Chains A and B, each alone.
Chain A
Amino acid sequence: MEGAMRSDDKVCTETGIESSSRGPGCSLRHFACEQNLLSRPDGSAAFLQGDTSVLAGVYGPAEVKVSKEIFNKATLEVILRPKIGLPGVAEKSRERLIRNTCQAVVLGALHPRTSITVVLQVVSDAGSLLACCLNAACMALVDAGVPMRALFCGVTCALDSDGTLVLDPTAKQEKEARAVLTFALDSVDRKLLMSTTKGLYSDAELQQCLAAAQTASQHVFRFYRESLQRRYSKS
């Protein structure tokens, strides 16, 4: 679609300037998070990474359809809605990745025969969209008070044609990259919960990306902690 393409390009021109001032690539863009901004869902969060922005709403533990009921644990559903048009295969595949990540940390056995629904709305995509979706989902789950074994975060790495590693890439950097790797890491052991990759890379590069993602995850988790501390500062 021309419109989408055009607007993407526009974003690139702006973030392109930004990236040049970012130095040799190894930094995270500015982060912002607002919790509890929607009145209807049980938990909600808007997560921004640079110009990428995702809004998440969580319902749960709520009533479940009989057809989806699981007798010994909660039914976890993730719905990802694109900004333009109807959800397609790409959204379904991302939904699955996010759902599997959430499933790994949510203590569903504490609320059998209920549903936990995570609805994600893409607000703007300027690179590292899946990572941003994961972060928004995590903050919304925390806001909803869904019991979790650990927190999780998403980190995207891009590898250039000459092998330089870029963390939290912009859309332009993603497009130029030889490989784009997205990891979900948990907060307790910084272990891998999910990974999805695109492009060619060597095993050494994979380990490098993973190690970089683990370092970056510390910053993300610190950001989580500080924003939650701020949120509870008046209670």
Chain B
Amino acid sequence: MAEPALVASESLAGCRARAARTVLGQVVLPGEELLLPEQEETDGPGFAGERPLRLNAGIRTRLRVVCGPGLRRSGDRLLVTKCGRLRHKASGCGSSGGIYWVDSQQKRYVPVKGDHVIGIVTAKSGDIFKVDVGGSEPASLSYLAFEGATKRNRPNVQVGDLIYGQFVVANKDMEPEMVCIDSCGRANGMGVIGQDGLLFKVTLGLIRKLLAPDCEIIQEVGKLYPLEIVFGMNGRIWVKAKTIQQTLILANILEACEHMTADQRKQIFARLAES
């Protein structure tokens, strides 16, 4: 839909396109165009006039670049469609390839295949459960998609229960479908979440931050109280500690992590550990 307009505007915007490498970690806005490292030499600001060089593009070794959330391909550039910080993860083979995406702080979830989410069962109809995951339509979950479930041995799931599952089908044109087993048929942590504990909502950006492999918050939280915790990529967190008081404290801390710098966070954790 957008393509013709974009191609037309490219020549105008050409002088304003910035190299993706230089804006890594910075805030990008919808409408900005990014140059991939391989194009910088030819298409960079200084060389905007030397367009014909692009004819040689075929000779250069093509690198595999993946457009993550918030980015779209327009011609051979990247068009930003969401506001947030630009991130990059290098692929194994080269320095300039890899995944680019925009880290935004939105609240609304859009199902993505492979995401682990927390859903609320809203209806049982025949062989499937309808699960609210916060997207634009409820996901379907087969009663056979649980560990050890057979036609005779149905899982005990009631309306209103929490489900931790994974998307196997999620695209813009189809109803999303969840399962609570991995490819080997094992639960692997998924399934119905226990009956107590607290569920609360945070932004999707915070969930990604918390689930990042180098995130210290989880370790720090773990030192405070013994706890059980589940993160859903759809912005839902389920937490359970020994007492209601502790559960509430944990929920409030995690919510507050959204707008705290590392230093502020450490201070608060230190104060809590004392008390």
Which of A's residues lie within 8 Å of B, judged by CB?
Answer: 36, 42-43, 59-64, 73, 105, 107-115, 142-145, 147-151, 186-189, 224-225, 228-229, 231-232, 234-235
Contact = CB atoms under 8 A, between A and B. Distances in A.
11 contacts: A61-B108, A61-B110, A105-B30, A107-B1, A107-B72, A145-B83, A149-B30, A151-B29, A189-B12, A234-B260, A234-B261
B136 A188 contact: no
A217 to B, nearest CB: 12
Interface of B: 1-2, 5-6, 9, 12-13, 27, 29-31, 70, 72, 79, 81-85, 103-108, 110, 135-137, 172-173, 205, 209, 259-261
A125 B27 CA distance: 32
B79 A149 contact: yes
Contacts of B137: 63, 113-114
Contacts of B81: 107, 110, 147-149
Contacts of A148: 30-31, 81-82
Given A62-B136, A148-B81, A149-B5, A43 B107 contact: yes
Q: Is the interface of B mostly helix, strand, loop or mixed?
A: loop
A145 B104 contact: yes
A61 B136 contact: yes
Contacts of B30: 105, 142, 147-151, 187
Nearest to A191: B9
Given A147-B82, A149-B6, A235 B105 contact: yes
Contact of B29 (A64, A110, A187, A234): A187
Contacts of A73: 1
Given A60-B108, A188-B13, A234-B259, A114 B27 contact: no
A43 B203 CA distance: 11
Nearest to B79: A149
Contacts of A187: 29-31
B199 to A, nearest CB: 16
A224 B29 contact: yes
Nearest to A190: B12
Contacts of A114: 136-137
Given A145-B107, A147-B70, 15 more contacts: A43-B106, A73-B1, A107-B2, A107-B81, A109-B1, A111-B136, A111-B172, A144-B108, A145-B82, A151-B30, A232-B27, A232-B84, A234-B259, A234-B260, A235-B103
Contacts of B27: 225, 228-229, 232
A110 B67 CA distance: 14
5 A-B pairs with least C-beta separation: A145-B106, A150-B31, A147-B81, A114-B136, A148-B30
